[in-house]
Structure 1
Amino acid sequence: MDYNHTNGTGGWFTNTSFQNLTRNDSESEIFFLHRTPFFISSGPVFDEVSHNFMTSVLLPSLVYVSILLLVGIPGNLMVVYVYSLQWPGCASTSRVFILALGCYDLLNCLSSLTTEIVLLSRFLDFDFPVWCKLSRFVTASINSGSTFILVAIATDRFLRICRIHKDPISVDLARNLVIISIFFAAMTSWPALLLYGTFTVTFPLKQFIYIRGKTCLISDSMTETIYPLIFVIFLLSSHFMVDLVLIILYSFVGQAVFRQQKFQKSVKTKSVAGKVPKAENENKVEAWQTSFTADDLEKNPQPLKQSRARTSNRISFVFWKKLSLNSKKAKLNNKLSSPDKELMKELKDSLKTRSSTDSNAPKSKRKIHAGKTTLMLFLVTLLFILSFLPYSIVVILRYTDPEFYTRLTAVGKGVYNVVLRSYFLNSVVNPVVYCFISKQFRKRSKDALRSLLCCERYQ
């Protein structure tokens, strides 16, 4: 999603050293004798102006994009390799979505970031309309496709944690959604092929003397139409609506986890207060604490289907099964005292909110939580939203105040251009999140690097 359409280019080069450019005698004669508009689009003066603009305004953006490229390509290559080859035969919904995001991000790095580096290096001399159209279309498509996948991820987490009585997104459905995201991306981004192209940059150097450059922005034929504004409004409003949907879904997930953590504390408090016989209460708490996470259910959904055949209520099948076993062994239905029955009723009522806990954690550290995969995917979504926020603010300022950019100093313009490309960050940070949160991803990445180094050593 790239909308690098900058108005007010005449203010880009004010308060700079461009007035003291060196010129030969023939150029000086043109400057002082020519009294009709004269445009410079090549030659030493043009090259010097272009170089000074790049070093004084665009250099921070060039460094920023270059760092993202150096981090993003190897990081996303590792994501694609690990989730496609290092986990054979272990397909799950979350892995399908993570692999899709990795492919989108890798393509964004190879296409959008490399194009941006070339554009920043020769901003006033980028007259490649077809390349411009295709790169902007690919950027917009990738961001739209990633947005679609993130909504699917949030919906899947919501179903697994808050609506466990309903069927979650299966692996086959997840693969179909990835295919649908490709068509969705193309359908929402095709206007970029029409709007973008070669834009003529013209600004005064001295009286009657103008610099004329070519760059990749909204094409000259479209700048005076209303279509660029309509496209930007559509994309920004769609982005804000998607952000709202993501916030709502994850707020429900967070509330469910919070309620379950609160209930676990209440069970432990009653145990300490002596309201429930110690042995029986430990069985109940252990049954609660050793239940599966949403991630475990995703890997093995078969017990969920069997549970629905045995239970007609909305209680989580894992907890219900364990409670049934405990009740059969101790004949709880006949021997429970009033406090025990009250606690059992509270437990059953709380189970309706669904919980997911880590069954592989030690008993002393087990807590009710949504699982590391849910946390990891939530952080990916949060960073996606935050990476677009500065860009959205700048675009809104630019369209509500057309002179905003021209009033900035050289430093301010440098910061402005970096912020205008803040959304590129979402294609780079995901591998970093996976590395910090997923122990399995770290282990398999180390194994892959170790294998690669060993292969190079023996060649």
Structure 2
Amino acid sequence: MKNGTFDLVTWNNDYARRYIASTVLHSLYLVLGVCGNLTAIIIYTTKMNSKHDDRYFIPFLASVDLAGCIVSTTFMLITNNLPYSYPNTAICKLLHFSASGLIIESIFLLFVISVQRYQKICRPFGFQMNLRCKRVVTLLVSLLAVALAFPSIFLYERIEVVHLSTNVTGHGCGPVPNTDTFAAIHRIVFMVFEFISIICMSIFYGCVGYTLMTKLNPARKEPRVNQKSWREKGITNGKKYSLMFMFISLASTLCFFPPWIFILLETNDKTFWIHLSYEETQFFVILRGVFVLNFVINPFIYCFFDSKFRQYAFKYCPWKIKES
């Protein structure tokens, strides 16, 4: 193809078309995530007692999810639509830093919640987080997330990209030259913190699940009516929130596995995305962006497990959906 008929706009649009499925999905994620998390924040802070022991962390988690959804979808939409016409370095650095920080903050918050559920269910007569402790822990989680994400400011910038055949020059958001070692160390540290948090969550929730099961077992020997009453009372007393947060943590972990795999692939092969076919690019880009679902699905899980939240959500829904 001659240089006169192949310019930067053509090159950019050609690759933007490859990402069209991802662009549509992330637009949907943005709408669902903003609406869902805003609803959760408003209801839990104005209509329900958010200082309640079981619900305390939900407004904080929903706030992180809201910010994470906006930042991550914005990052993906700009990358998809302007792969070789990236606006500037400031946007590149800001989006990388914000996305990294919000991802790790979300995982850390889920880890703290798993500790709180373990204390409440497995050690009900031991040390429990009071309100001051929860506030301090939430602040520490935010500070640690900022500290871990801060190096990304020096690792990404608007870089020059040259088309191999036509020498057309474009600009994308990519790694700063000569920072490969620093970037690799940062990725390893980041992933170690994520893996440790997930492993600890699994252990804590394993103990929670075991305790819930062993507490339910004796009820099987009781009459059928008493058994139903005992279980309903147990769920009302907060066990349903343990199940809810277990599902949230599991969903979060599943959302992060595909991106982790692609990070490893990209680290081992710098040209991984260049040699893919149109169909492969569509499919892999969608998988690469599955992590955004971590910021989108939680309001739906709240709605499923928390009947009071569901009642308010349906009551103030603009379509006036009635709860069955």
Please tell me whether the aligned partners of residues 202 and 212 of structure 1 are also in contact (alpha carbons under 8 angstroms): yes
Greater Rg over alpha carbons, structure: 1
Which residue of 296, 311, 316 corresponds with 1:448? 316
Moved more, 121-130 or 392-401: 392-401
Please tell me whether the aligned partners of residues 405 and 413 of structure 1 are also in contact (alpha carbons under 8 angstroms): yes
Give the partner amino acid of 1:420: R
1:280-315 CA-partner distances (Å, limit 9, x unpaired): xx9xx68x964996xxxxxxxxxxxxxxxxxxxxxx
Aligned-pair identity in percent equals 21
Please tell me whether the aligned partners of residues 376 and 437 of structure 1 are also in contact (alpha carbons under 8 angstroms): yes
* 2:201 alignment partner, SS class: helix
1:86-165 matched pairs, under 5 angstroms: 86-88=47-49, 91-165=51-125
1:66 matched to 2:21: no
Structure 1 equivalent of residue 219 of structure 2: 264
Task: After TM superposition, give the deviation of residue 408 of structure 1 in Å.
Answer: 2.8
Task: After TM superposition, give the deviation of residue 170 of structure 1 in Å.
Answer: 2.2
Give the partner amino acid of 2:175: I
* 1:220 alignment partner, SS class: coil
Structure 1 equivalent of residue 172 of structure 2: 215
Please tell me whether the aligned partners of residues 76 and 289 of structure 2 are also in contact (alpha carbons under 8 angstroms): no
Which residue of 226, 230, 239 corresponds with 2:194? 239
Q: Which sections of structure 1, spanning at least 5 residues, go unmatched?
A: 1-18, 29-43, 273-281, 294-356, 361-369, 454-459
Task: After TM superposition, give the deviation of residue 406 of structure 1 in Å.
Answer: 4.2
* 2:57 alignment partner, SS class: helix
Q: TM-score, normalised by structure 2?
A: 0.90
1:10-45 CA-partner distances (Å, limit 9, x unpaired): xxxxxxxxx4x7x7xxx38xxxxxxxxxxxxxxx62
* 1:395 alignment partner, SS class: helix
Give me the whole-angstrom Cα distance separating, in 1, the residues matched to 2:81 and 2:269: 28
Please tell me whether the aligned partners of residues 391 and 420 of structure 1 are also in contact (alpha carbons under 8 angstroms): yes
Structure 2 equivalent of residue 46 of structure 1: 8
Give me the whole-angstrom Cα distance separating, in 2, the residues matched to 1:139 and 1:59: 22
Give me the whole-angstrom Cα distance separating, in 1, the residues matched to 2:199 and 2:84: 38
1:379 matched to 2:256: no
Structure 2 equivalent of residue 192 of structure 1: 152
- Aligned CA RMSD, in angstroms, stands at 2.6
1:80 matched to 2:41: yes
Give me the whole-angstrom Cα distance separating, in 2, the residues matched to 1:391 and 1:202: 26
Give me the whole-angstrom Cα distance separating, in 2, the residues matched to 1:426 and 1:407: 29
Structure 2 equivalent of residue 421 of structure 1: 289
Task: After TM superposition, give the deviation of residue 175 of structure 1 in Å.
Answer: 2.2
Q: TM-score, normalised by structure 1?
A: 0.65
1:362-401 matched pairs, under 5 angstroms: 371-401=239-269
Please tell me whether the aligned partners of residues 93 and 174 of structure 1 are also in contact (alpha carbons under 8 angstroms): no
1:322-353 CA-partner distances (Å, limit 9, x unpaired): xxxxxxxxxxxxxxxxxxxxxxxxxxxxxxxx
Give me the whole-angstrom Cα distance separating, in 2, the residues matched to 1:115 and 1:405: 18
Give me the whole-angstrom Cα distance separating, in 2, the residues matched to 1:193 and 1:108: 17
CA 1:258 to 1:290, structure 2 compared with 1: closer, same or farther past 3 Å? closer
Moved more, 95-104 or 390-399: 390-399
Give me the whole-angstrom Cα distance separating, in 2, the residues matched to 1:48 and 1:405: 19
Please tell me whether the aligned partners of residues 96 and 175 of structure 1 are also in contact (alpha carbons under 8 angstroms): no
CA 1:401 to 1:128, structure 2 compared with 1: closer, same or farther past 3 Å? closer
Give me the whole-angstrom Cα distance separating, in 1, the residues matched to 2:148 and 2:110: 16
1:172 matched to 2:132: yes
* 2:124 alignment partner, SS class: coil
CA 1:59 to 1:175, structure 2 compared with 1: closer, same or farther past 3 Å? same
The number of aligned residues is 320
CA 1:358 to 1:422, structure 2 compared with 1: closer, same or farther past 3 Å? closer
Give the partner amino acid of 1:187: A
Give me the whole-angstrom Cα distance separating, in 2, the residues matched to 1:227 and 1:437: 43
Q: Which sections of structure 2, spanning at least 5 residues, go unmatched?
A: none
Task: After TM superposition, give the deviation of residue 403 of structure 1 in Å.
Answer: 5.2
* 1:449 alignment partner, SS class: coil
CA 1:235 to 1:159, structure 2 compared with 1: closer, same or farther past 3 Å? same
Structure 1 equivalent of residue 235 of structure 2: 358
1:396-430 CA-partner distances (Å, limit 9, x unpaired): 22323445444432211222222222211100000
Please tell me whether the aligned partners of residues 93 and 152 of structure 2 are also in contact (alpha carbons under 8 angstroms): yes
Ranges of 4+ aligned residues in structure 1 off by more than 4 Å: 288-293, 401-404
1:408 matched to 2:276: yes
Give me the whole-angstrom Cα distance separating, in 2, the residues matched to 1:409 and 1:359: 53
Give the partner amino acid of 2:33: G
Give me the whole-angstrom Cα distance separating, in 1, the residues matched to 2:111 and 2:296: 19
* 1:371 alignment partner, SS class: helix
Please tell me whether the aligned partners of residues 195 and 219 of structure 1 are also in contact (alpha carbons under 8 angstroms): yes
CA 1:413 to 1:188, structure 2 compared with 1: closer, same or farther past 3 Å? same
Please tell me whether the aligned partners of residues 200 and 220 of structure 1 are also in contact (alpha carbons under 8 angstroms): no
Give me the whole-angstrom Cα distance separating, in 2, the residues matched to 1:403 and 1:144: 27
1:180-223 CA-partner distances (Å, limit 9, x unpaired): 21111111110011111112222312xxx32321111212353x
Give the partner amino acid of 2:99: T
CA 1:403 to 1:135, structure 2 compared with 1: closer, same or farther past 3 Å? closer
CA 1:94 to 1:110, structure 2 compared with 1: closer, same or farther past 3 Å? same
